[in-house]
Chain A
């Protein structure tokens, strides 16, 4: 009888496994167990690098099932607590606080990252520039972007963001130069085209601004979610469509505003 019950239970379990696997939700179910497993392993065998790798897994736009900024932050904080000099743990903490909208926390962690790892990993400056820009410190952001661009002269996102803070500081001419530099290598980049259209419009070069704005609208309409996630790493893959919409609406409004002048 015991044998018979066991066999039925096993058969039931196998049946459930087959059904769950077939439902397409097995990834999420296993993900919960996987995270528990990570926590258990980390408790038994604490390691800064292991905690960082676990955090990175939950912070990847590639893995929608595992993506969880709160879990990622907890792992990164553990990583930093186990080794304050880990090359990327503090960097990722700053990014996560930034994405969560806690710019003060993000800036404090970003300052630490720049101090200890800025020379080896210049994108610490880029992240701090981004945070400062969102906080309205455009001059500070400009300096950080310039520092980053010394090591990555053709990075379109850095050039676009550099143009952003220059425009906010009323330096449209410098912004036009920065966007032109980026468009040399990325002629169809919608972010660069949009920023260039704005710079030219601010300079009163409406004809050229209109052309750039039109190109920006066209390029933004062709943007894919994969491309958007490359432009905004660390974001939830499920919100890529919203992000694309923000850019598309901005380019359309800008084209309308330029046409109205």
Chain B
């Protein structure tokens, strides 16, 4: 009886020695209990085994009744119904509270996809974006890859992508930006990338570099000077001055024209003048530089 009861617990943690110990405990408990009762009556009144049996039955009945009359445990959930703002009665449940399927498996309260898909991953139980079912998962059919929202063709074994190559043939490595589609057909996007190609994209323009000088920077009143200016990685430049008596101004408006070295002769100057070079870089930034021309002072003895 003890063994049958034990196996009905379906507990995997009982080792053989526990089974044996349990059997011994039950047997000894039973025998000790009955032996004590027997020793008090039967050993003295051994001719009356019916009395012994009756006494034992009585003891069992008392224990039995006490077990039978135990009050059921009424938890906080059993009679709980909460009132909504409108006075209706809401009844919460607690199905997923049991851990590790030790009591009722909590997944009995969750839906499962009839087709075996993982419903937590695919709540609609259908594969999205052209995917097909493979076990509990969805995958793209052979020859296609998942681009994040749908399966796209990878016929020819190619994945659509931009890459850096050399020349119009889009082979090897170089500064040409190319694009290869899923059908493995490549085409030139930029040839070459002006500032090189890396990581499947043209590199951005470097920061502009500009310089302006006046030569000579010290003249006598009424003389002229050379205004020399250079600019790299710029799309346009202007040179202006702050002398109200002259109107010197030069400019360039293309990357190539600005990249050349400029040497402009100033007007005749009679006072200190500042020349300012202002450029817009290919990367969109604004930069300025300046050069100052000074006039040799005239000293008069008094």
Query: What residues make up the interface of A, taking CB atoms closer than 8 Å to B?
Result: 4-5, 8-9, 11-13, 15-17, 19-21, 23, 25-34, 36-37, 40-41, 49-50, 53, 56-57, 59-63, 66-69, 87-88, 91-92, 95, 98-101, 103, 121, 123, 126-127, 130, 133-134, 148, 151-158, 160-161, 163-164, 167-168, 170, 185-186, 191, 194-195, 197-198, 201-202, 229-236, 238-239, 242-243, 246-247, 249-250, 253-254, 257-258
Query: Which of B30, B72, B97, B123 sits near A234, CB closer than 8 Å?
Result: B97
Query: Which of A67, A87, A157, A249 sits near B73, CB closer than 8 Å?
Result: A67
User: Is A13 touching B34 in the complex (CB atoms < 8 A)?
Assistant: yes
Contact of A53 with B78 at beta-carbon distance under 8 Å, contacts A16-B34, A170-B85 already known: no
Residues of chain A within 8 A (CB-CB) of B35 are 9
Whether, in the assembled complex, B31 has its beta carbon less than 8 Å from a beta carbon of chain A, the answer is: yes
User: Is B95 touching A233 in the complex (CB atoms < 8 A)?
Assistant: yes
- Of all chain A residues, which has the CB nearest B8? A63
Give the interface centre of B72, B84, B87, B107 by most chain A CB atoms within 10 Å: B84
Query: What residues make up the interface of B, taking CB atoms closer than 8 Å to A?
Result: 1-2, 5, 9, 11, 13, 18, 21-22, 25-26, 29-31, 34-35, 38, 42-43, 46, 49, 52-53, 56-57, 60, 63-64, 67-68, 72-82, 84-100, 102-104, 106-111, 119-120, 123
User: Is B26 touching A30 in the complex (CB atoms < 8 A)?
Assistant: yes
- Of all chain B residues, which has the CB nearest A242? B78
Residues of chain B within 8 A (CB-CB) of A8 are 42, 46, 49, 52
Residues of chain A within 8 A (CB-CB) of B43 are 5
Query: Which of A26, A41, A233 sits near B104, CB closer than 8 Å?
Result: A233
User: Is A57 touching B11 in the complex (CB atoms < 8 A)?
Assistant: yes
CB distance from B141 to the nearest CB of A (A): 26
Residues of chain A within 8 A (CB-CB) of B53 are 12, 15-16
Residues of chain B within 8 A (CB-CB) of A234 are 75, 94, 97-98, 103
17 A-B contacts (beta carbon < 8 Å): A16-B53, A17-B30, A19-B60, A30-B2, A36-B25, A155-B96, A157-B96, A185-B111, A195-B90, A202-B84, A233-B94, A239-B73, A242-B78, A243-B79, A246-B80, A247-B91, A258-B88
User: Is A156 touching B79 in the complex (CB atoms < 8 A)?
Assistant: no
Give the interface centre of A27, A29, A31, A152 by most chain B CB atoms within 10 Å: A152
- Of all chain B residues, which has the CB nearest A204? B86
Question: A13 to B111, alpha carbons, bound, how many Å?
Answer: 53
Residues of chain B within 8 A (CB-CB) of A156 are 93, 95, 109-111
CB distance from B59 to the nearest CB of A (A): 9
Query: Which of B2, B60, B82, B119 sits near A164, CB closer than 8 Å?
Result: B82
User: Is A239 touching B63 in the complex (CB atoms < 8 A)?
Assistant: no
The 6 closest A-B pairs by CB, nearest first: A157-B95, A185-B111, A99-B75, A238-B72, A250-B89, A154-B111
Contact of A33 with B97 at beta-carbon distance under 8 Å, contacts A12-B52, A233-B104 already known: no
User: Is A239 touching B78 in the complex (CB atoms < 8 A)?
Assistant: yes
User: Is B103 touching A56 in the complex (CB atoms < 8 A)?
Assistant: yes
- Of all chain B residues, which has the CB nearest A197? B88
Give the interface centre of B22, B52, B77, B88 by most chain A CB atoms within 10 Å: B88
Question: A215 to B9, alpha carbons, bound, how many Å?
Answer: 38
User: Is B26 touching A157 in the complex (CB atoms < 8 A)?
Assistant: no
Residues of chain A within 8 A (CB-CB) of B95 are 155-158, 230-233
User: Is B80 touching A134 in the complex (CB atoms < 8 A)?
Assistant: yes
CB distance from B226 to the nearest CB of A (A): 73
CB distance from A70 to the nearest CB of B (A): 9
User: Is B34 touching A123 in the complex (CB atoms < 8 A)?
Assistant: no
Contact of A254 with B94 at beta-carbon distance under 8 Å, contacts A49-B13, A164-B82 already known: no
Contact of A33 with B63 at beta-carbon distance under 8 Å, contacts A9-B35, A121-B99, A148-B96 already known: no
